[in-house]
Structure 1
Amino acid sequence: MTKLSAGVVGAGAFGRIHARKYAEDARVRFVGVYDPDDERASELAKTHGAESFANLDALIAAADILTVASPPSFHGAAAKRALEAGKHILVEKPLATDVETGAELVRLAHERKLTLGCGHQERLVFEAMGLLSAPETPTRIESVREGPWTGRSADVSVTLDLMVHDLDLALQLMKRRPAGILATAKSEHGRTADRIEARLAFAPHAEAVFISSRIAKERRRFMRAVYPSGEVNIDFLARTFENSTRFKINPNFAETRIGSDPLGANVAQFIDAVLGVAPRPAVTGEEALAVLELALDVDRASGLPSLS
């Protein structure tokens, strides 16, 4: 079987993980990476015996599939150039930083019959748990996703950086968009929100409350989902949960292939979709666009911009 040639745009934390996943997949030949930081790109390429490309177009020309793991404000432009060149793309979250660009990526992928996936990895954790197929719909969701300042993804709001995970999960669990949004935010390191609290009203009588911060004292990642028959409390860091509902959740989800490595599973399913083994990537461009639209609505409700 002819191997797919894979490249990664961005040699930061996520770019390094995607590069390793491609290098470990027998169906793929990892050809290299592009990053404006030549030293960082060269170091990553050397790790996998690959090439550090001098510019984005050279990497695009050499690859069949690409991950875009650059800073979020560059996601849209890099993905557009790759799609226009006929390449399949997996974009780390968020899909883009404005709805127009996100919609254009979806349109290009559809018109050119290309696979467009997005890196909302927590979705796969819920899949491994069995929550996405639960027989009930939540009446309330509470989520906290916060950690200390690292400077990573500082070009966008904490909404586009962190809260997008929980917004995606809420859309999957509620199976509809919210009817109303209230939000308050504060910034410490620029124009965009570094901490934001959002309350989303879902018709007819459900709501979700999200707190996301990148200026907290410690890392916390948890969600509480209240259902008609009970509630589910999830600790994303410990990969544990408590369930008092009538429906079952996989108690060993953290030991499954997907639950133990959701990013790796996302990359693998993206490759499956490109090869025609799977009908779609784990998170489609259309689904990622819906999350982007909601995240931008939250920022607008807070009164702070989405981009620095």
Structure 2
Amino acid sequence: RQAGFGAPRYLEAERLAPFKPRSLDIDVIMDLMIHDLDLTLLLTGAEPVDVRAVGVAAVTDKADMATAWMTLNNGTVANLAASRVVREPARRMRIFWQDRYASVDFLNNTLHIYHRGAGTVPGIPGVRDEVVDLPKRDALAAEIEDFLNAIVAHRPVFCDGIAGRRVLAAALQVRVAVEAFLQH
């Protein structure tokens, strides 16, 4: 969480990937959406209290695309979409606070933060844009390195078992809502 920003009021994320014949034993929620659920819980420090979701089994017998709308216990609303059956990949998140907005493009490693105040953004009066280039790195390799450091060097992991359990519980809530939608 960013110090001084407080919990976001609203956030939205999309994680879209072309079809690959891997991980077909799980749905798109556990395959892709779980990462944005993890970020949502990390950024808000809150838990889902109302979860609504829809999904479609477009190619496999499990949900290949899903959208979830969640209200968290701190009032944040999150809208998350994931698909593993699109032509062009996308991994974006937009986070809205009372007086600022952040847009992250995980594929291009860019972060734009738009602040209210004396502005320079064309077409949006009173808003300034701060651009942050994020370091390019392989997220999966970083996760494995973090895990190995925890074992070998006895260092704490970034995402511990408690956080993993919280995000799994949220993913299961989304899955239940998607499965109920698919039953109709």
TM-score category of the 2 structures, normalised to the smaller one: 0.7 to 0.9
Q: Deviations over 1:163-217 (max 9, x none)?
A: 0000000000110111100001110223210010100012353200011001112
From 260, 283, 295, the counterpart of 2:159 = 283
Q: What pairs up with 1:8-157 in 2 under 5 angstroms? A: 132-135=1-4, 136-157=6-27
The CA distance in 1 between the partners of 2:26 and 2:99, in whole Å, is 38
Structure 2 gap segments, 5+ residues each: 117-129
Residues 233 and 285 from structure 1, CA distance in 2 versus in 1: closer, same or farther, beyond 3 angstroms? same
Over 3 Å counting, the alpha-carbon distance change for 1:188 and 1:283 in structure 2 is same
- Given that residues 93 and 104 in structure 2 are in contact (C-alpha distance below 8 angstroms), is that contact kept between their aligned partners in structure 1? yes
| CA distance in structure 2 between the partners assigned to 1:290 and 1:191 by the alignment | 26
**2:68 counterpart (174, 182, 198):** 198
Correspondence for 1:169 = 39
TM-superposed CA distance for 1:223, in Å, is 0.5
Match of 2:146 in 1: 269
Instruction: Give the partner amino acid of 2:60.
Output: G
2:106 counterpart (219, 232, 236): 236
CA distance in 1, matches of 2:28, 2:158: 23
* 1:222 corresponding residue in structure 2: 92
| Rg comparison, structure with higher value | 1
Shift of 1:286: 2.0
Deviation at 1:304, TM superposition (A): 5.7
- Cα-to-partner distance string for 1:53-82 (whole Å, 9 max, x where unaligned): xxxxxxxxxxxxxxxxxxxxxxxxxxxxxx
State whether structure 2 residue 81 is matched by structure 1 residue 208.
no
Report % sequence identity: 29
Secondary structure of 1:293's match?
Answer: helix
Identify if the C-alpha distance between structure 1 residues 174 and 214 changes in structure 2 by more than 3 Å, giving closer, same or farther: same
Distance 2:72 2:145 in 1: 33
The alpha carbon displacement at 1:295 in A equals: 0.6
Query: Which residue, 137, 140, 145 being the options, matches 1:260?
Result: 137
Contact 1:266/1:281, CA 8 A, preserved across alignment: no
Aligned residue in 2 for 1:251: 132
SS of 2:81's equivalent? strand
Residues of 2 paired with 1:269 and 1:148: CA distance?
A: 28
1:296 alignment partner in structure 2: 172
User: Runs of 4 or more off by more than 4 Å in structure 1?
Assistant: none
Give the structure 2 partner of residue 110 of structure 1: none
Amino acid at match of 1:218: E
Tell me which residue corresponds to 2:53: 183
Task: Say which structure is richer in helix.
Answer: 1
Alpha carbon RMSD of aligned pairs, Å? 2.3
